[in-house]
Structure formats: C-alpha cells, structure tokens
Structure 1
Amino acid sequence: MTGANKGIGFEVAAALAARGMTVLLGSRDRARGEQAAARLRAAGGDVRPIVLDVTDPATIAAAAAAIEAAPGRLDVLVNNAGVAGPVGDPPSATGPATVREVLETNVIGVLMVTNALLPLLRRSPAARIVNVSSGVGSLAHHTDPAHYMSGLPASATYPVSKTALNQLTVQYAKELRKDGILVNAAAPGACATDFTKDLPFTITRSAADGAAIIVELATLAPGGPTGGFFDDEGIVRW
C-alpha cells in the first residue's frame, strides 16, 4: 500500500498484518518506511518496507519489479498516499501549478501505481483495490444546504482531486468487474493525524477509526460490492 509509514496508512498496514497478511509498506522515504515496518514486525506482523513515490515512475517500476520477484502476486492494493494542497485558498486565488501538483499525487499517482501493479493483481484469486478518498469529494455533500460541507470554504485542490478519484474508481471497477477484482473508494473521515494538524478545529477521531472502512473494503468476500463509495456508516452519496 502507498503512504503507509504513518497516520491512517500505518493503521491499515497494522490491521492487515494482524489478520495474517504479508504487508508491503510503501513510503516515499526509505528510513521512515523501514522504521514503520520495524514497529509492526515487533508486534508480530509480516511487514516489509518498499520505497514508493506515486509521482515517480522509477520507484513505481522498481516496486512492481520487487513484488514480481517475491511474492509474485498482489492480493490487495490500497492507494492511500495523498496531499492536501493549500488550505483556505479559493479557486479564484489558486494557480494551475498548485492544482496540477495535487492532482499529480491524488489522481495521476493512483492511475500510475494501479496500472503498474495490475498484472500482479490479476494473478490473485480475489484481488481488491481500495482508493482512499474523502467525504469532501462528494458533490452531494457540497450541494446539500443541510450538510456541513456545503459551508466549507471553496477550494480547487483537495476536494476536486477526491471527486476525480471517485470517478476513476468507478471506471476501474467497470473495467475489472469481469476479472473479479473489486474496486472501491473509502472515506475514512477526518482523523487526528499530521494530515489534519493544521486545520482550525480539533479532531478527536483516531487514525485507527479511519482505517476500519479501508480494511473492510480490502478484505471483502467474493461477490462484495464494487464501484462504490463507502464510510463506516455505509454508502456515501457521490
């Protein structure tokens, strides 16, 4: 999985390892990835660090080659890596380079990693792909006057990227349904992590709380949903 050395990604890795899965812990920084993997191994998990920057084709190719060598297939891909972009800048004050930077990680990075690892996923008898999205990617939330997200400051970066990621999830699900690969988007909710530390309000939800829906979708039984958007309360409106 990508972006797994801390926060929600780390908790997903911990939960999957606790279920007996071999976890390939992806991290842009080699040292941080090795430290995170060591913590999980100390708790009894089979966790192996792997350098993976979703914006760097060379590390993506190297990761795919390493997985090809051992174990030779991939059962679950969790696309968790993401960036927030500037907080508080309205669309009228946001330059195209800023939007491109966020989309490069949150959407294009998911595309590149998924495509590179798809041959390995096809070797699994029951592959699962989980794209970590956000409730702020819901158009329904932002256009519903009764929903608190309709009152959030306008932004051309993070919410836009997660809406695009949701659509990408649907398109992969359409393509891969015939192969039995289930592809879903997860909304873990705002959790107390480094990702949200600069927000102007206090968050008490833990990273482990947010990880739960991702783990659930990563371990769906055959015949489970595909092409959906879920949080821990059920279906999220697009």
Structure 2
Amino acid sequence: MANETLIALVTGANKGIGLEIARQLARAGVLVLIGSRDVERGSAAAALLSSEGGRAKFIRLDLNDHSSIEAAAETIRTEHNRLDILVNNAGIVDAEDGPPSSGSPEAARRIIDTNFIGTLAVTQAMLPLLRQAPTARIVNLSSSLGSLTVNGDPNSPYYSARLIGYNASKAAVNMLTVQLAAELRGTSIAVNSVSPGYVKTDLTGHTGFMTAEEGARLPVKYALLGEDAVSGQFVEPGGTTPW
C-alpha cells in the first residue's frame, strides 16, 4: 500500500493512543484527519502534528452525535472524495461500570452507545468513501477484554477484569470486525480488530505498562498493510488473540 497520498481518519485522535496513531501515520506520509468531538483539543492536536512536519487536519466527529458523523463524511467526500484508512480508536470507560452483579446498566449503555454503536455509525458513514479508494483498511481498536475466551479462562491475567459494559462493548466491536470482513470479502477493503496492549493512557488511569508510542505500532501496522492484507483478524502485540 503506497502511502504518499493516503488519507486516514483516526477517531478520538486528540490525545493518548489515538494521537500517537495519528502521529505515526503522519510520519509515514499519510494525510491524517484528526477526529475529535472537542474543537479546541482536536485543532491543537492537528497543529501539533503539523508543527512536527506531518500533514494533519482537524475534523469534528462525535461518536454520540450522528449528525456530526454524517457531516464529517460529507466534508471528506467534498475535499478528498475517498478515504484510504479508517482507524476506529475513540472509546470510553465509565466509573460506574463493574461486574455483572453490580455494574450500572446505565453505565453499560453509555459505554456501548459510544464504543460499539458510535463505531458502527462511523464505519457505515465512511464505507462509501473507503470503497472509492484503490485499497482501504479499517482498524477497529479492540481489547483482550473483548475476548470471550480470555474472559472465561481462569489462567488469564485478565480473568478478574470484570467490567461488563466495557468488555461487552469490545466483544461487540469484534463482532463488527468478523461480520464486516465477511461482507467485504472479495473487495479491496481489509478490516481487523487490533488490541494495542495495556497502554498508559487516560483510559487506563495511566496504569498500563506500554507507552502510547509502543501501543500505536500495531494499529499503524494494520492500517498500512499492503495489497496482500489479511482481513477478519483479532491481534495483539503477542500475536493472534482468540475470539
């Protein structure tokens, strides 16, 4: 996949791993659209990457505001008429989330509305633009916590991480990957779920053991896969993740 003129949209790219994914794509010569619901932070992130020599533009996009999603798609259509890479990075956690016996159903709804429904809405809005690209890549940021196998394995280090809303949201994102990859089989669009690892960001309360730079490497790798790209995979830094 030649990257001289590639156009990428990264959602939630104003900070954390999203910003680092955008930075690494920009360093690879990609024009990066910084998707952010916050105008000030998104504009600042785009300016930062531009000051570092990359090509970056801010585009307002709120996963909970479908009109902003449609407006973003229309802006990309008007200015570029295609999209080569979509990185569905934006996501939330909620302090009221917890085990199935006590986690707040309202918190679970908020998380799923953003992490899954919002991601689905963005993907659907951008698909016509991705179809206009010679080859296109969709990277869905997932988590090992979205693996049913991992959640059911007492020997897994993640076994005790019972966050019904967050874990379910990432399992749903994985279902999106599986079904969309099957639907797009035979096209030039590859879609994969990528778990970046346990990264030190606001989302994890900075308790991870990987830096944002380290965590961004695998999503960027899958965003830049060549013409022989795999599709329908669930991967993490250590290799393939069981669904």
Q: After TM superposition, is the score higher than 0.5?
A: yes
Matching of residue 205 in structure 1 with residue 213 in structure 2: no
Q: Within 5 A, what are the aligned runs for 1:68-217?
A: 68-86=77-95, 89-152=98-161, 154-197=162-205, 202-217=207-222
Take 1:65 and 1:158, find their aligned partners in 2: how far apart are those partners?
Answer: 30
| TM-score computed with the length of structure 2 as normaliser | 0.93
Take 2:163 and 2:211, find their aligned partners in 1: how far apart are those partners?
Answer: 25
Match of 1:14 in 2: 23
What's the CA shift string for 1:33-80, capped at 9, x where partnerless? 000110100000110000000110111011011101111100000000
Take 1:161 and 1:17, find their aligned partners in 2: how far apart are those partners?
Answer: 29
Deviation at 1:97, TM superposition (A): 2.2
Matching of residue 229 in structure 1 with residue 234 in structure 2: yes
Match of 1:65 in 2: 74
Deviation at 1:87, TM superposition (A): 6.0
Is the 8 Å Cα contact of residues 20 and 212 (structure 2) preserved in structure 1? yes
- Counterpart of 2:222, as a letter, is L
- Counterpart of 1:169, as a letter, is T
What's the CA shift string for 1:208-233, capped at 9, x where partnerless? 11111100110111122101101122
Cα distance change on mapping 1:26 and 1:151 into 2, 3 Å:
same
Mind listing any 5+ residue stretches in structure 2 that lack a counterpart?
1-9
| Larger fraction in helix | 1
Deviation at 1:235, TM superposition (A): 0.7
| TM-score computed with the length of structure 1 as normaliser | 0.95
- Counterpart of 1:52, as a letter, is L
Deviation at 1:88, TM superposition (A): 6.2
Deviation at 1:122, TM superposition (A): 0.2
Take 1:46 and 1:37, find their aligned partners in 2: how far apart are those partners?
Answer: 8
- SS in structure 2 opposite 1:185? strand
RMSD: 1.3
Match of 2:224 in 1: 219
Match of 2:55 in 1: 46
| Percent of aligned pairs with the same amino acid | 46
Take 1:141 and 1:59, find their aligned partners in 2: how far apart are those partners?
Answer: 35
Take 1:181 and 1:216, find their aligned partners in 2: how far apart are those partners?
Answer: 15
Match of 2:7 in 1: none
Deviation at 1:155, TM superposition (A): 2.4
Deviation at 1:142, TM superposition (A): 1.7
- SS in structure 2 opposite 1:25? strand
Mind listing any 5+ residue stretches in structure 1 that lack a counterpart?
none
